[in-house]
Structures are given as structure tokens and as C-alpha cells.
Amino acid sequence: MTQMTAAARPAKTARHVAKIREMRKVRGAIKWHERAREKRQKIIKERHEDKRTFAEVRKWRQENVVRPIKEAKKNLKEDYEMGPLRPNRAVGSGADKYGVMGMEQLRRPPINVDTWRRKNEAREAKGFEPEYPLVVDDKKYFPIAAQDRVMVMKGREQGKIGVVTDVLEASHEVILLDINKHYADGSIFNTPEGEAPVSKRAIAVPLPIDDVRLVVPYRMTTQNEDGKHVHTWSDVVVDNIAMERHTTGKDPFTGVYYGTQEFPEEHRFDPETGLPVFNRYIAGTRTRIQWPWETTLPEEEEATRVPEEKQDNLSLVGKLKSPVKFLRSKLGKNKEANKPEEAPKTPEQLEEEKLQSKLKQLNKVPETPRGAPVKFSPNYPDDTGRNKAEPSPHTSSFYPTLVYPPYPSGITSEIQQHTQQTDLKERNEKQDWYEDAKEVSSEERAERKAAKAEKTRRKVVPDSMKTPLQLRWEVERKNKLAAAETTKVDREALLIALGQHMEATRAAKKGVRSPTTKPEAVAELD
């Protein structure tokens, strides 16, 4: 059977083989072009998102920073030229809110993680250093953290040193304690119960992370008049920070010291949080800067505590077994006893020792670096407000609302069903338009309509599941529609009757009855 089938099958000629090869080549070229088109579309979409993101940032800065500054300078010049005749601009119903910042000025446009990652990749491809923050595993990492001391380099607060209270990852900004405070519109804040609303409120406005520099204590060596080297501590401004992943030294998971060699890549994370661990250095040096969560300052009494005398822990058996060691310990104590007593330290010296011990602790390199601790405690329920889960000066007046973000955590699941129904309706409308615009046969279109009608019919609730009120309403609705259909007048008959009525009316005015108009029809129309 197989031999007969093989004999009956026609042999492939050279022309047929060439045709098959050409078809495979065309099919492969089509697939290649489809993949290339998908890649191009993805690149075009990413470029469009990047341009739109940075365009929004530039637009917001132009409208809320540059333009108000120009208007303020213009008003200042006008007030200076007019002198005592300068106008009072704080008039009218909004006089108490003149110069305050509104919601649009406080709401910074966010920068997407993927957009910033692509920007740094493009800079590295051109040979430039990446800009902070660094992006690792779809998360941003900043060289400045909360509780750091920074100096403001631009603006009206230039030269001031403050403590960072929060880092805004979405807009790449930092909030400083009691620095860069402005008046904001009081209506955008929720007023607690029992308190009167205020027209304006002083808040700390965020500063761009590029406008601040880190301030750290640095040990400097100088010579005094006697030529001796003296170590002093002074605050220095770090112009550039170098961040590196913790890849050498002590393994955070096993505790094994690798020295200058790199430990396994899967161990380059914090065992507690699972986030990568970074070390920050003063650029151009290997001077490591501690993170705020690594700093453990000594207690007040620990710096000035007098060391107690060492107890003689040698027992009688130990003294007999090692008499040399016993004699050395006794001779050492006698030598120490013959030393002259030191003068008591003054309060200034004690304060200096406290300061030196704290500064040494600030610059101490930890044996095992750790990542940033988790901000939110997992012990809070889902509906806990931010003012309770993360208490801080700028969140003490926060109350969840549906007017502006951030919204409560449960609102997404509540509107998810409505959103899915809306998306499904829009998708069906687009599909109907596409099918109508596409060149398809009438039979195929009829089959699709029938299938859609069958699908819709299945979604209809059967009568056995309806309540008596629903059945009664459907029956009444059906009777109304049937009555409307029976009382509907034919359009052509109506036009004929109207024409006959018009002729009869015209003839009646002339005193001649129209022979084509029947009296019954005229009477009926009248």
C-alpha cells in the first residue's frame, strides 16, 4: 500500500522545489518584518512617552516657577517706580489668598521609572555618567535619604543647612525641615472636625534634588604653632557623590569575608528587605559616607565614662600554674600606681570628648552594610490612614479623601467592575466599526451578527429567575409598544389624506366642491 502510494505521488521537479524555496523565503521575510515592525513600534512608543514626560516637567516649571518669578519682578519694578502710589494687589474676595500656592503649583509631574532608566542607558551609551537616582529592578535609589543634612545651593534659601524629612521619589525632590516654607491654599487641606478652616497654611515646599548638596563631618589634619599635627572635625559640602553596589567585603547572608573579591550575585541584597545594598562615597576618594539608618550615636554618659579597674580573675590554681603571668600583672599594676594622677577634666574638655566620639561614630564604616529599612509597618490594616501609619510633621494633617490623590486603598477594587464594563463596551464598539469598515462578505457578516445575537440572548436573564414585579413591568412595556404599533399611521396614506384635505379647503373657499374629495374623509380630517 505504501509503495503504491509513493509511486502514485508525483515527483517534485526542480521548478516545484524552487517555488517551495521561494515561498519559504517570502514567509520568513514576512515574519522578520513583522518582528522588526513590533520592535520599531515599541521604540516609537517609548520615545513618545519619554518626550511627553519631560515636556510636562518643562511646562509645569514654565507655568509655576518661571512665569510667577517674572511677574513678581515686574510688579517689584512697578512698585519701586511708583513709590507711595503703588497699587494694592491684595484686594477683593481673594485678598487673604494673594500670593498663596494652589493645588497645581504643589502637584509636581511624576517621572516614570522606565523613562528615567532609558535616559540613563542613553547617557551611558554616549560615555557619560548616569544621573541620580539610579534605577535597579524598577526601583529608584537616591544618594540622599531622610535624616541627612544638606545645604541649599539655589533659591532664596541659598546657603542654609537643614535636615531632610522626606524624599519624593516620583518627582525627584526633597523636603527639608523648616526650610523653603511657603503659604499654601488652606482649602486643599482637610480640616479636622472641631477646627475652623484657614485661608492659608505655611508648609515646606519640596526642593529639586539637584539644588541641594550633602553635608558631612570630615576630619582634617592641621599643624599648630608648636608644629604638632592636630585633628579637627569640620562640616564639608560634598559636591558629588558616588554610589556603588555592595559587592565586596562581608557577605550579608553568610557573614563570610571575601576581601577585594566579589561575593555571589544572588547575595547582593539586604536579607531583611530583599533590596540591593548601596555604599556612597565622596567622589574621587574611598571615604565612605554613612547612611542615616547606620548611625548609632553613643549615649551621653558613655563618652565620659571612667573605665573601671580590671579585676584579677586568676584563681589560686591559675597563680600556681602560671606564676610569671601573675607577677607580670602585679608589676604592671605597681607601675600604673606610680604614675602621677591626671588633672580633672574641665566641662569644655568633656564636651569636646563627647563631640569627638560622636563624630568618630558618624564616620565609622559598618562591618555589614544594610539597605534602607521598610517605611511602612506591616502590622497596620489596609484602611489605616497615612497620618497614622507614617506620622510626620507634613502628614499630621492628612485625611483620606476622594477629591484628590492619594486615594484610599480600597477604591480601586470598588471601581474595577465599572471600569471593566466600560472598557468592554468601548472594545465592542471599536470591533463593530472595524468589522463594518473591513471588506468582508455578506455571509460572513451575517454569521458574526448571528453569533453576537446568540451571545446577547444567553446573557438575558430567564423568566424563571425574575421577580413578579419584573415580569409585570415587562408585560406592561410590551403592551405599550404593541399599542403604539397599532396606532401608528402609514406615511403615504397620511400624505394622500392631507392632499385631499388641502384641495377640499381650496375648493370650499371658491364655492366649488372638489369631486375627488369624499365628504367622509374631509369630515374625518376636520
Model confidence over 57-72: pLDDT tens digits?
Answer: 999 999 998 999 999 9
Residue 268: the pLDDT is 86
C-alpha cell at 482: 404593541
Please name the residues in contact with 288: beta carbons below 8 A apart, sequence gap of 6 or more: 279, 280, 281, 365
Q: Identity (one letter) of the amino acid at 71?
A: E
How many other β-carbons are positioned within 10 Å of the β-carbon of residue 267? 17
Asked if residue 353 has pLDDT above 80, the reply is no
Residue 367: the pLDDT is 66
C-alpha cell at 197: 478652616
Residue 164: the pLDDT is 93
Dist. CA 467–CA 473, nearest whole Å: 10
Q: Which of 255, 288, 251 shows the shortest CA–CA distance to 266?
A: 251
Q: How confident is the model at residue 402 (pLDDT cuts 50, 70, 90)?
A: low
Asked if residue 279 has pLDDT above 80, the reply is yes
Residue 428: the pLDDT is 72
Name the one residue in this structure whose C-alpha cell is 517621572: 111
Asked if residue 453 has pLDDT above 90, the reply is no
pTM: 0.58
Q: Which long-range contacts (CB under 8 A, 24 or more apart) does 323-330 make?
A: none
Judged by average pLDDT, the poorest of 97-106, 121-130, 512-521 is: 512-521
Compute the chain's Rg from CA coordinates: 42
Q: How confident is the model at residue 174 (pLDDT cuts 50, 70, 90)?
A: very high
Strand partners, 257: 250
Q: What integer best gives the mean pLDDT of the chain?
A: 77
The mean pLDDT value for 276-294 works out to 88
Q: How confident is the model at residue 451 (pLDDT cuts 50, 70, 90)?
A: confident
Q: Where are the beta strands (DSSP E) in 169-268?
A: 173-176, 181-185, 200-204, 207-208, 212-223, 229-238, 241-245, 248-250, 257-262
Strand partners, 173: 168, 208
Contact 106, 188 (CB under 8 A): yes
Asked if residue 307 has pLDDT above 50, the reply is no
Residue 143: the pLDDT is 92
Residue 32: the pLDDT is 93
| First vs last C-alpha separation in the chain | 92
Instruction: Tell me the pairing of strands 241-245 and 248-250.
Output: unpaired
Q: How confident is the model at residue 517 (pLDDT cuts 50, 70, 90)?
A: very low
Kindly tell me the burial class for residue 215, based on how many C-beta atoms sit within 10 Å of its own C-beta (0-12, 13-18, 19 or more).
Answer: middle
Residue 273: the pLDDT is 82
3 state SS of 236? strand
Asked if residue 361 has pLDDT above 80, the reply is no
pLDDT > 70: percent of the chain: 69
Contact 331, 337 (CB under 8 A): no
The mean pLDDT value for 126-154 works out to 91
Dist. CA 526–CA 524, nearest whole Å: 5
CA distances from 82 to 77, 87, 88, 138 (A): 9, 9, 12, 56
Residue 363: the pLDDT is 59
Residue 210: the pLDDT is 92
Asked if residue 189 has pLDDT above 60, the reply is yes
Asked if residue 173 has pLDDT above 90, the reply is yes
Asked if residue 91 has pLDDT above 50, the reply is yes
Q: What angle do CA 444, 450, 454 make, to 5 degrees?
A: 145
15: phi then psi, degrees, rounded to nearest 5: -70, -40
Q: How confident is the model at residue 303 (pLDDT cuts 50, 70, 90)?
A: very low
How many other β-carbons are positioned within 10 Å of the β-carbon of residue 421? 10
Instruction: Tell me the pairing of strands 248-250 and 257-262.
Output: antiparallel
Contact 410, 311 (CB under 8 A): no
Judged by average pLDDT, the poorest of 171-175, 207-211, 273-277 is: 273-277
Q: Identity (one letter) of the amino acid at 236?
A: V
Q: Where are the alpha helices (DSSP H) in 215-322?
A: 316-321
C-alpha cell at 464: 424563571
Residue 373: the pLDDT is 74
